[in-house]
């Protein structure tokens, strides 16, 4: 008999930013690190003989909660990766919900019908993950092992173990980040002792406690943002209105403000259309993200020039998703970090950036007041 603890990775960028991950490699979030600590405490008194994970960053980081305190090596296997999402990888869930509703439905409720360019079939995923788990169980007969993998892979594994047809996969709920499933392998078969248990997570660090999409019949999430290049010839006044509002929020007055910021944004947009993006919640414009691709390039950093959420949507957990779009763009350009400047007096903005991993690395003079230079790592190295 072999005991196999199957663990989902801690919260990663895609979970926080509401982007599709698949086999796209991504970092663990600040809250994900707290989940890893809670997982470490859970496994303090559990005997483990070997630890395995997929070869992606988020699973390797999570596996450290189990192997490091026990002085065990970590063995990584690409066979434990998440389903390959093909052309969906690193795009926003909002784009899929809006533009490909049938395939979105299939992915969640009829995975055997899901078919996108470059994507891995449900049957191939189920065969891959189940075969790997069984092979590890045979290798460790009479022992206990931990296997850190991914939510979609775990769902396919449990569907196979429970002998459910894929059209009944909704009987298996998605699992929380770092949730644990205990499988027993005996006489060539797998059975479930318990599944998707997140009892080690206080509500304050449970990813699922913050969202309810996984409870809904259609799995749609009404808080996912999408992005489009901003047409500043037609939308220039909105850009200026938002910039003006942000200026007052940061400085308390319009002293030093100028319409030249629109001219600068137009120039950047002509050179690289994704330099100025408008964020949408459904069809409603809710924010703006402006990038300065040239500034800080020599230091390997990607500069965020303007970061804005409309007032009705602030404080609702939406604004962080703009960081996901900036990360995606700059990571593809080979940048190792995100960097921005924020008015020293703008305490609310500073607290927001600190919450999501930015640290002050310097200070410089601005047009009105000193600016803090803040930076966040996005490198997987």
Domain-embedded: residue 233: yes
Q: Tell me, what's the pLDDT at 258?
A: 92
Domain match, 208 and 230 both: no
Longest Cα pair distance anywhere in the chain, in angstroms? 76
In this structure, the answer to whether residues 27 and 115 fall within a common structural domain is: yes
Residue 59, pLDDT score? 98
CATH of the domain at 290: 3.40.630.30
3-state SS of the chain: helix, strand, coil percent to 5?
A: 40, 25, 35
The partner residues of 226 in beta bridges, in order of sequence, read 280
Q: Stretch 228-235: mean pLDDT, rounded? A: 97
306 and 181 belong to one structural domain: no
Q: Are residues 10 and 70 in the same domain?
A: yes
Instruction: Looking at the structure, tell me whether residues 237 and 106 fall in a common domain.
Output: no
Q: What is the pLDDT of residue 214?
A: 54
Q: Final residue of a domain: which of 168, 193, 215? A: 215
- What is residue 11's DSSP assignment? P
Q: Name residue, tokens 């010839």.
A: 233
| Nearest Cα to Cα of residue 107 among 175, 169, 26 | 169
| Cβ pair 116, 103 in contact under 8 A | yes
Residue 338, pLDDT above cutoff 90: yes
The answer to whether residue 29 sits within a structural domain is: yes
Q: CATH no. for residue 104? A: 3.40.50.1240
pLDDT of residue 221: 72
For residues 211 and 238, state if they share a domain: no
pLDDT tens by residue, 240-289: 999 999 999 998 899 989 999 999 999 999 999 999 999 999 999 999 99
Residue 217 pLDDT: 62
Q: pLDDT at residue 89 above 70? A: yes
End-to-end, the C-alpha distance of the chain in Å comes to: 38
Residues 311 and 192 in one domain: no
Residue 150 lies in a domain: yes
Last-in-domain residue among 215, 245, 263: 215
Residues 173 and 249 in one domain: no
- Domain assignment present for residue 221? The answer is no
In a domain, 198, yes or no: yes
User: Same domain, yes or no, for 184 and 203?
Assistant: yes
Question: pTM for this structure?
Answer: 0.94
Q: State both tokens at 378.
A: 């996005």
Please say if the pLDDT value at position 330 is more than 70.
yes
Residue 220 lies in a domain: no
Residues whose CB falls within 8 Å of the CB of residue 283, separated by 6 or more in sequence, listed in order: none
Torsion of CA 348, 353, 357, 360, to 10 degrees: -90
State the total domains in the chain. Answer: 2
The answer to whether residue 240 sits within a structural domain is: yes
pLDDT digits (tens, 9 = 90+) for 31-58: 999 999 999 999 999 999 999 999 999 9
Same domain for 49 and 121, yes or no, is yes
Q: Of the candidates 121, 124, 150, which has an alpha carbon nearest to the alpha carbon of residue 55?
A: 150
How far apart are alpha carbons 23 and 21 in whole angstroms?
A: 6
Residue 218 has pLDDT above 90, yes or no: no
d(C-alpha 205, C-alpha 200), whole Å: 10
**What integer pLDDT is reported at residue 174 of this predicted model?**
87
For the cut 70, the answer to whether the pLDDT of residue 212 exceeds it is no
Instruction: Report whether pLDDT(143) > 60.
Output: yes
pLDDT for the residue 368: 86
47 inside domain = yes
Angle at 56 between CA 328 and CA 69, to 5 degrees: 125
pLDDT at 219 (0 to 100): 65
**57-67 vs 30-42: helix axis angle to the nearest 10?**
30
Give the domain-ending residue among 168, 189, 215: 215
The range of the structural domain enclosing residue 311 comes to: 226-377
Are 258 and 52 spatial neighbours (Cβ–Cβ below 8 Å)?
A: no
Is residue 362 domain-shared with residue 252, that is, in the same domain? yes
Residues 316 and 188 in one domain: no
- Other C-beta atoms closer than 10 Å to the C-beta of 30 total 12
């Amino acid at each position: 008999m072999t005991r196999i603890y199957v663990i989902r990775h801690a919260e990663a960028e895609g979970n926080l930013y509401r982007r599709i991950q698949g086999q796209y490699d991504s970092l663990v979030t600040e809250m994900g690190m707290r989940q890893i600590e809670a997982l470490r405490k859970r496994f303090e008194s559990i005997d483990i003989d070997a630890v395995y994970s997929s070869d992606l960053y988020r699973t390797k980081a999570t596996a450290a909660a189990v192997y490091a305190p026990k002085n065990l090596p970590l063995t990584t296997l690409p066979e434990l990766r998440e389903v390959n999402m093909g052309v969906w990888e690193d795009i926003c869930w909002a784009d899929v919900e809006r533009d490909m509703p049938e395939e979105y439905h299939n992915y969640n409720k009829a995975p055997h019908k899901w078919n996108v360019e470059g994507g891995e079939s449900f049957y191939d995923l189920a065969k891959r993950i189940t075969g790997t788990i069984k092979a590890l169980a045979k290798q460790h007969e009479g022992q206990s092992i931990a296997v850190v993998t991914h939510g979609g892979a775990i769902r396919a594994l449990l569907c196979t173990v429970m002998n459910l047809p894929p059209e009944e996969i909704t009987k298996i709920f998605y699992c929380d980040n770092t949730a644990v499933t205990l499988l027993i392998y005996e006489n060539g078969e797998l059975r479930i002792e318990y599944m998707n248990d997140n009892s080690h997570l206080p509500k304050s660090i449970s990813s699922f406690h913050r969202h309810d999409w996984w409870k809904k019949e259609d799995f749609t999430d009404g808080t996912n943002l999408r992005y489009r290049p901003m047409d500043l010839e037609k939308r220039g006044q909105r850009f200026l209105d938002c910039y003006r509002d942000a200026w007052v929020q940061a400085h308390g007055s319009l002293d030093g403000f100028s319409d030249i910021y629109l001219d600068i944004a137009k120039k950047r947009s002509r050179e690289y259309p994704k330099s100025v993006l408008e964020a949408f919640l459904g069809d409603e414009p809710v924010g703006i993200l402006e990038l300065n691709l040239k500034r800080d390039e020599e230091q390997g950093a990607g500069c965020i020039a303007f970061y804005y959420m409309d007032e009705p949507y602030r404080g609702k957990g939406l604004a962080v998703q703009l960081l996901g779009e900036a990360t995606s763009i700059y990571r593809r350009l080979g940048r190792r970090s995100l960097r921005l400047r924020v008015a020293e007096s703008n305490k609310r903005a500073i607290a927001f950036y600190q919450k999501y991993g930015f640290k002050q690395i310097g200070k410089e003079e601005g047009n009105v007041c000193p600016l803090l230079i803040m930076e966040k790592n996005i490198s997987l190295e």
